[in-house]
Chain A
Amino acid sequence: MTAHVTSPQFKQNATKALADDQLQKAMSNVRQGFIDKRAAVAAKLPEFEALRDSARDIKNHALQNLDLYLERWEEKVTAAGGQVHWARTADEACGAVLDICRRVGAKTVTKGKSMISEEIALNAALETAGITPVETDLGEYIIQLRGELPSHIIAPAVHLNATQVESDFRRVHTHLDPQRDLSQPVQLLTEARGVLRDKFLSADVGITGANFLIAETGTSVIVTNEGNGDLTQILPRIHIVIASIEKVVPTLEDVSQILRVLARSATGQEMSVYTTFSTGPRRPGDPDGPEEYHVIVLDNGRSAMLGTAFQDMLRCIRCGACMNHCPVYHAVGGHAYGWVYPGPMGAVLSPSLIGVDKAGHLPNASTFCGRCESVCPVRIPLPKMMRHWREREFERHLSPATVRSGIAFWGFFAKRPALYRLATRAAMGALAWFGRRKGAFKSLPLAGCWTQYRDFPAPQGGTFQAQWKAKRGGR
């Protein structure tokens, strides 16, 4: 089972998003907040750039030896009394969760935030089996009430405004006083805290994701700010962790290196509020904690990315910095990408996981400005990998006829440099002359998609090649 995919309709999704006033208002929070906070916290740590190198190297080392680290990690989990379940596909992962839930007769399952859970559409699988999943991260709870996918990997409800959340709470929390005041965000938070507190205390099974798996100790790690992941995993009798294979890192020291760049890149905090290291079930004498500890470790196409041009993508630690800094994401929001992973990381990962035939538009949704790569804490060359996908899409004849003939037209000139210089000089001169008065065009033949949203600037000076030649002084 996989979450419903609308990535093939990326263009329609994006057009709709651009005309959505509520969404555009909400997205302004992303543009303003995340970027400044990250920049400020990075500037406070002189070693930040060097730590990014260190984090990259650790993930590279772990991926090069992934088979061995997974084996070592599994041994340690088992030694601590936990159980490991291997899942090749989304269906196998959902099946493993359902088997455990059915064995213990679970009716309600609380969930910490997990992108893997979204990837495998676990909630739908649980509901089909008659088990009620309750998302407990505030953002995930809100989008569960609305039947939506997350629009951001760490801020799932970033596409919404407080008034929309208020109307959802009024629609669903019908046991509360209809006259209550919910005009302030803090009142919404307090209401969700109260409603979910009861769910935490009565759930039969708690499911969390994992930011990391540690081979040295057989530990899974979650990083949250709310504390919902912890209440999810310490109160019910059963704790199930769902994680993908590339989450494994060697040691506690290695995870500490990566933690130093994770929160700073994600929310601009020096450290998230709760970083929790879990190893096996409750020990003899422990006054609390789960009696069973399971880890479902999912492949779902990742093992085949190793050794390819996309191996570097497996370094991703899901901080969201790439989308926070992406002008395309800012403009269209996360839902336009049509599946669970939006923004630049989604544009690279989604074609690997659901196929370039479905997600081929996503790597085209980039201006190649390079901001994503410049902020990635593990230095993933996202633009380069989007270019790889574009090449594959072209090679497999998946791109539309207009794009192909456009590229062929450009290619004709590009292969004839003298003709190219002549044509660009002529076209530029014409544009500069027609646009000489206003310095920009409100509309332009063949550029309607551009001028519909903003003016097209009239060219100034010489062509790029002419300027380059002048600048280099004929060297």
Chain B
Amino acid sequence: MSARDEILGTIRRSLGVTGTERPRHSAVDERLAAAPKGLVPERGNLSGEALIDLFKAQAAATLATLEEVDGLDRVPEAVADYLRRGNLPARARIGDGLASLPWGATALEVTTGASDGRDLVAVNRAFGGVAETGTLALVSGPDSPTTLNFLPDYAVAVLKRSEITGDYETLWARLRERFGKGVMPRTVNWVTGPSRSGDIEQTILLGAHGPRSVHIIVVND
């Protein structure tokens, strides 16, 4: 008997089931189809300005930094200013999803594609933000390499104000709209602040393996 059949067989014997019970199958299939929400904390149900305020406050609590700009066209300028403020070289790896922005209007030298580990700064387009914990959601794909979220020391994420949701559940609903029910992109990254570790004497230190710094640019649309 294969390992698979034996494991499933033992599970069924232990549970006292055969695996052919109609009601069990329909209960499971209904749950998978309906994906009931469960309990959403009150703070996840905010809207309007209160929602954005919560996202900002929660992102700050995770030690991410945040700024707002008016329109996607203002992003390159904001990135250039951010690098200048941090005394960083005017160079960045950007996700293809941001390549059409007016980078030429700044003094920044930008390259696209996956990171090979030599980039100090990367700018990626986020899929969304979740206010309840100040979490960013980034989705892998041709326009948004996953390496940009982890290899550089400074990670900048760009998202529109309208892409910020109160709770994780609304984020999943948006994702299903884009990719279809039951289908996921290769990687969905939730990022809640800069990389950290508490493994030495339980002291939290930033910049363990991922970015030491996370900067969020919210585009007012």
Contacts and interface: CB of A to CB of B under 8 A. Distances in A.
A and B pair up: yes
Interface string A274-309: 111111111101111100000001010001111110
Q: With a 10 A CB-CB cut-off, give which of B11, B182, B185 has the most chain A CB atoms.
A: B11
B102 interface: no
Interface in B196-221: 196-203, 205, 207-211
Contact of B41 (A46, A86, A231): A46
A189 B208 contact: yes
Contact of B193 (A69, A158, A273, A277): A273
A71 B172 CA distance: 23
Interface in A187-208: 188-190, 193, 196-197, 200-201
Interface stretch (A122-130, A247-255, A347-355, A389-397): A247-255
A325 interface: no
Interface in A112-145: 136-139, 142
Given A185-B201, A250-B32, A305-B14, A68 B19 contact: yes
Q: With a 10 A CB-CB cut-off, give which of B31, B167, B209 has the most chain A CB atoms.
A: B209
Contact of A273 (B24, B28, B114, B191): B191
Contacts of B207: 189-190, 193
Contact of B196 (A76, A226, A303): A226
Contacts of B55: none
Given A155-B198, A227-B150, A47 B187 contact: no
B14 A307 contact: yes
B7 A273 contact: no
Contact of A254 (B38, B62, B167, B197): B38
A69 B209 contact: no
A308 to B, nearest CB: 7
B157 to A, nearest CB: 13
Interface stretch (A10-18, A50-58, A401-409): A50-58
Interface in B140-196: 140-142, 145-147, 149-151, 167-169, 172, 182-196
A50 B182 CA distance: 27
A243 to B, nearest CB: 13
B186 A216 contact: no
Interface string A156-191: 111011100100000000000000000001101110
B190 A29 contact: no
B117 interface: yes
A108 interface: no
A26 interface: yes
A109 interface: no
Contacts, number: 264
A67 B17 contact: yes
Contacts of A230: 146, 149-150, 189, 210
Given A165-B200, A196-B209, A305-B14, A88 B184 contact: no
A286 B186 contact: yes
A271 B64 CA distance: 13
Contacts of A69: 28
Contacts of B141: 283, 285-286
Interface of A: 26, 29-30, 33-34, 45-47, 50-51, 54, 58, 61, 64-72, 76, 80, 86-88, 92, 136-139, 142, 155-158, 160-162, 165, 185-186, 188-190, 193, 196-197, 200-201, 215-219, 225-228, 230-231, 234-235, 245, 250-254, 256-257, 259-260, 267, 269-283, 285-289, 297, 299, 303-308
Interface of B: 2-4, 6-8, 10-12, 14-17, 19, 24-25, 27-28, 31-32, 35-39, 41-43, 58, 61-62, 96, 113-117, 132-135, 140-142, 145-147, 149-151, 167-169, 172, 182-203, 205, 207-211
25 contacts: A29-B202, A46-B41, A64-B15, A66-B11, A137-B199, A138-B208, A157-B199, A185-B200, A188-B200, A217-B182, A225-B198, A226-B197, A227-B150, A250-B35, A257-B39, A274-B210, A275-B190, A283-B140, A287-B113, A287-B142, A288-B147, A289-B186, A303-B7, A306-B15, A308-B14
Given A88-B3, A185-B201, A186-B205, 20 more contacts: A26-B201, A47-B41, A54-B38, A68-B28, A72-B32, A161-B201, A196-B209, A217-B184, A226-B209, A234-B187, A251-B36, A270-B192, A271-B135, A274-B191, A275-B135, A278-B186, A282-B186, A286-B186, A288-B145, A308-B14
